[in-house]
Structure 1
């Protein structure tokens, strides 16, 4: 049976850390769906408008050979995403591991047979770091 994987991100100022997450996720599933965070959701949560417009970020992620499908992420309701996409595994940054929110999501998903896999972030590269460097130019 085909394993469907799901991960999400803003994917602003696409860098090697993003690529590594997508590459690792694809190794853990047969079909990888990636949710790209809308500008509005990013603004409401991070209070930052992405540098790269939403449509362009969608196109960039679609062009990655490890990605099989790209969908907009317009909210953080993971159960709603599962209802729409029926994935078997979800890939999340390990900075969320052990938080109340993700412990609860793990419990809910375990009942649905969905496995949460945590990946460590690339510490030496981040869009926030790139944004800071660019602002000094």
Structure 2
């Protein structure tokens, strides 16, 4: 991760943003960031802090703003194998749909974030390739 504007987001917020972009679910993010108490409240708090600091109202715009501000290094996300990534996303969506641990509303959100992450990775990979 680049820290050009590291004062804008702290390390945990940057990590949360990056992990969300990578399509990790809330449980995996909580484990990575060691959220021990009231995980749901911590997720909501982190999301709201990131959105406020980036002056956005959704993840799509947060990811775009983070790349534009160089808070996330495009190189970390551009070198992707589209077929492999599509296969991974497909498997993940199937697992989510078959899950009995989360409700339908959360399934929709997790699938949306996974597809959004995939779309942005494709967009940036093509932008990067055009500049070469």
TM-score normalised by the chain length of structure 2: 0.29
Relative to its length, the structure with more helix (as a share) is: 2
The structure richer in strand per residue is 1
Structure-1-length-normalised TM-score? 0.29
Q: Which has the higher contact order (CA 8 A, sep 6+)?
A: 2
